[in-house]
Chain A
């Protein structure tokens, strides 16, 4: 005659295994590929660097050193963008990314927009080195607008 505990043991074992499997499955499904995390961090840093530039032009006396280092960061991030969107890193159920499938379905369009931004970032960095504050102010606005070149079409609308 089995005790109460012995009768329950198989059920408990089955439940434990089920939970363990579920846990592993969920963990596996929710962990996004590294490249998504990398590009999210990289683009956040880009935004933060761009904020530095915009903030400098808010006040009366923009600091050229701050702008120059921010411009270098923007240029570096821009150069990395081509590596950030490998095939298969797009939106799938369970993965959180603002990247739209058009990045891959319209690869030439994405490449053109991306390259335009890289060009602007390069121009901006050169201008920052020159220290021409008057031109820099205007160029920073153009640079900001070129972000839209990709974002308007290839990124899910953000708040």
Chain B
């Protein structure tokens, strides 16, 4: 598979999202949905397990954002307000593959909210002191109840941002005729005449290391 720059006419296929990034994304989707369902139907054992799995994926994604493939790295797509402004005002929006400066904000918001949800859940105590997070024995009943309230509010915020995220994807798909879902499944995106610069793909053993890190972190909390 050619990874060189392509100045020819006609479209070129570029590898945008690596396996680890795509897997992380869809696992988050599944786990958030399952966490939501399990809490709503009072399957608290499953809800806790789902939270543990989410913690594992988030640990991995944060690690991957530091050492992973080019489009996964935070340093690459997180830009300051000036870059966002420039992006919004640019007449041609064809940027390099990966998150644009505006999309980067939503990535930060979503990952940030997911992380805070999981952390709050660790210390959450229900109203009867019956069901509680795996680390809640280290805080008082009052603190655990405060975490529970924040955990609920945090979920509303998360839902709002997920809604925004889906709306943006739909906007791209319907209005801008740009299907962003397929690349997040297959990893490949077809670009127009404007060639996209190639990026590095991180080796598999780096991902394996990240998975081991997740297992260690989650394992230390699950008893």
- B-side interface residues, number (CB < 8 Å): 18
Check if B137 sits within 8 Å of A50, measured CB to CB. no
Most buried by B among A46, A49, A50, A51: A51
Q: Which residues of A from 11 to 27 have beta carbons under 8 Å from B?
A: none
The interface residues of chain B lying within 8 Å CB-to-CB of A49 are: 129
Q: Residue-by-residue, is A28-60 near B (CB-CB < 8 Å gives 1, otherwise 0)?
A: 000000000000000010111111101100110
The interface residues of chain B lying within 8 Å CB-to-CB of A59 are: 137
A159 interface hit (Cβ, 8 Å):
yes
A147 to B149, CA, bound (A): 21
| Given A159-B148, A159-B149: A55 and B137 interface contact (C-beta under 8 Å) | yes
User: How near does chain A come to B159, taking the closest CB pair, in angstroms?
Assistant: 15
Q: Which residues of B from 125 to 144 have beta carbons under 8 Å from A?
A: 125-130, 132, 134, 136-137, 140-142, 144
Check if B128 sits within 8 Å of A50, measured CB to CB. yes
Check if B149 sits within 8 Å of A54, measured CB to CB. no
A151 to B136, CA, bound (A): 23
The interface residues of chain B lying within 8 Å CB-to-CB of A105 are: none
Check if A58 sits within 8 Å of B141, measured CB to CB. no
Check if A151 sits within 8 Å of B128, measured CB to CB. yes
The interface residues of chain A lying within 8 Å CB-to-CB of B177 are: none
Check if A58 sits within 8 Å of B128, measured CB to CB. no
A109 interface hit (Cβ, 8 Å):
no
| Given A58-B223, A159-B148, A159-B152: A47 and B132 interface contact (C-beta under 8 Å) | no
The interface residues of chain B lying within 8 Å CB-to-CB of A52 are: 129
Interface size class of A (residues with CB under 8 A): 10 to 19
Q: A48-B140, A54-B132, A159-B148 are in contact. List 10 more A-B contacts (CB 8 A).
A: A44-B141, A46-B129, A47-B127, A50-B130, A51-B129, A51-B141, A51-B144, A55-B132, A144-B130, A158-B126
> Residues of B with Cβ closer than 8 Å to A?
125-130, 132, 134, 136-137, 140-142, 144, 148-149, 152, 223
Check if A47 sits within 8 Å of B152, measured CB to CB. no
A62 to B127, CA, bound (A): 22
User: How near does chain A come to B120, taking the closest CB pair, in angstroms?
Assistant: 13
Task: Show 5 residue pairs from A and B whose CB-CB distance is below 8 angstroms, ordered by the A residue.
Answer: A47-B141, A50-B130, A52-B129, A158-B127, A159-B149
Q: Residue-by-residue, is A122-140 near B (CB-CB < 8 Å gives 1, otherwise 0)?
A: 0000000000000000000
User: How near does chain A come to B158, taking the closest CB pair, in angstroms?
Assistant: 15
User: How near does chain A come to B70, taking the closest CB pair, in angstroms?
Assistant: 42
The interface residues of chain A lying within 8 Å CB-to-CB of B129 are: 46-52, 54
Residue ID in chain B nearest A98 by CB atoms: B127
User: How near does chain B come to A135, taking the closest CB pair, in angstroms?
Assistant: 19
Residue ID in chain A nearest B141 by CB atoms: A48
Check if B148 sits within 8 Å of A147, measured CB to CB. no
Check if A159 sits within 8 Å of B127, measured CB to CB. yes
The interface residues of chain B lying within 8 Å CB-to-CB of A58 are: 134, 137, 223
Q: Residue-by-residue, is A84-100 near B (CB-CB < 8 Å gives 1, otherwise 0)?
A: 00000000000000000
A55 to B132, CA, bound (A): 9
User: How near does chain B come to A25, taking the closest CB pair, in angstroms?
Assistant: 31
A49 to B129, CA, bound (A): 8
The interface residues of chain B lying within 8 Å CB-to-CB of A147 are: 128, 130
